[in-house]
Structure 1
Amino acid sequence: MEADLLDRLLVTLAVRLRSFSVCTIQRGWRLGFSPFEAITVHYVLRGTGSLRVGHGPWRSFAPHTIIVVPARHSHSLGAAEDCIGEVRAEDHCVLHGDGLISFTAGDGSPDALFVCGQIADTHTGAMGLFELFQAPMVETFPSDPVLRYAFELMLAEVVSPNLATQAMTEVLMKQCLILLLRRQLVASDFTSPILAALQNPKLARAVLAILEQPGARYSVDSLAALASMGRTSFAEGFATAFGQGPMEFVQRVRLRIASRLLSGTDLPVKVIAATVGYASRSAFSKAFEVEFGAAPSQFRLVGGMDEGEPERIESEPPTEPT
Structure 2
Amino acid sequence: MRADLLDRLLVTLAVRLRAFSVCRIQRGWQLGFSPFEAITIHYVLRGTGSLRVGAGPWQAFAPHSVIIVPARLPHALGEAEEVVGAARAEDHCLLHGDGLVSFMAGDGTPDTLLVCGQISASHDGALGLFELFQSPMIQAFSSDAPLRGTFELMLAEVAAPSLGTQAMTELLMKQCLIVMLRQHLLGGDGASPLLRALQEPKLARAIIAVLEHPGAPYSVDSLASLAGMSRTSFAVRFSEVFGQGPMDFVQRVRLRIAARLLTATDLPVKIIAGSVGYASRSAFSRVFESTYGLTPSDFRSFGGGDEVEPERRENPELAPSETSQEP
Give the TM interval when normalised to the shorter protein.
0.7 to 0.9
Confirm or deny that 1:2 pairs with 2:2. Answer: yes
Q: Which has the higher contact order (CA 8 A, sep 6+)?
A: 1
Q: Is the 8 A contact 1:278 1:284 kept in 2?
A: yes
Confirm or deny that 1:129 pairs with 2:129. Answer: yes
Q: Is the 8 A contact 1:286 1:295 kept in 2?
A: no
State the shift of 1:123 in Å: 4.2
Aligned to 1:239: 239
Q: Is the 8 A contact 2:29 2:83 kept in 1?
A: yes
CA gap 1:144/1:14 in 2 versus in 1, 3 angstroms: farther
CA gap 1:110/1:309 in 2 versus in 1, 3 angstroms: farther
> Residue deviations 1:46-81, cap 9 Å, x none?
111110111111101111111011122221111112
Higher mean C-alpha deviation, range 246-255 or range 174-183:
246-255
Q: Is the 8 A contact 2:19 2:170 kept in 1?
A: yes
Aligned to 1:39: 39
Q: Is the 8 A contact 1:122 1:131 kept in 2?
A: no
Aligned to 1:93: 93
| Matches of 1:305 and 1:61, distance apart in 2 | 34
> Residue deviations 1:2-55, cap 9 Å, x none?
233323332332343222211100111111112222211101111111101111
State the shift of 1:210 in Å: 2.1
Aligned to 1:58: 58
State the shift of 1:305 in Å: 6.6
Q: Which amino acid aligns with 2:158?
A: V
Q: Which runs of 5+ in 2 are unaligned?
A: 310-327
Residues 160-239 of structure 1 mapped to structure 2, 5 A cutoff: 160-187=160-187, 189-239=189-239
Q: Is the 8 A contact 1:18 1:309 kept in 2?
A: no
> Residue deviations 1:211-231, cap 9 Å, x none?
343222111222223334333
Secondary structure of 2:147's match? Answer: helix
Q: Which runs of 5+ in 1 are unaligned?
A: 311-322
Q: Is the 8 A contact 2:289 2:296 kept in 1?
A: no
| Matches of 1:241 and 1:97, distance apart in 2 | 42
Q: Is the 8 A contact 1:99 1:166 kept in 2?
A: yes
State the shift of 1:144 in Å: 4.1
CA gap 1:212/1:232 in 2 versus in 1, 3 angstroms: same
State the shift of 1:271 in Å: 5.4
Higher mean C-alpha deviation, range 167-176 or range 44-53:
167-176
TM-score by length of 1: 0.83
Residues 7-86 of structure 1 mapped to structure 2, 5 A cutoff: 7-86=7-86
Residues 104-143 of structure 1 mapped to structure 2, 5 A cutoff: 104-123=104-123, 125-143=125-143
TM-score by length of 2: 0.82
| Matches of 2:285 and 2:307, distance apart in 1 | 25
| Total equivalences in the alignment | 309
Aligned to 2:315: none
Aligned to 2:250: 250
State the shift of 1:133 in Å: 2.3
Q: Which amino acid aligns with 2:22?
A: V
> Residue deviations 1:87-144, cap 9 Å, x none?
2212211111222111111111101000111224434535433223222111111244
Higher mean C-alpha deviation, range 280-289 or range 104-113:
280-289
Higher mean C-alpha deviation, range 117-126 or range 17-26:
117-126
Q: Which amino acid aligns with 1:101?
A: V
| Matches of 1:299 and 1:36, distance apart in 2 | 28
Q: Which amino acid aligns with 1:35?
A: P
CA gap 1:264/1:72 in 2 versus in 1, 3 angstroms: farther
Aligned to 1:318: none
| Matches of 2:181 and 2:224, distance apart in 1 | 26
Query: What is the aligned-residue RMSD (CA, Å)?
Result: 3.0
Aligned to 2:318: none
Aligned to 2:314: none
> Residue deviations 1:282-319, cap 9 Å, x none?
65455446545x47379659959744899xxxxxxxxx
Q: Which amino acid aligns with 1:54?
A: G
| Matches of 2:280 and 2:210, distance apart in 1 | 20
CA gap 1:300/1:47 in 2 versus in 1, 3 angstroms: closer
Aligned to 2:325: none
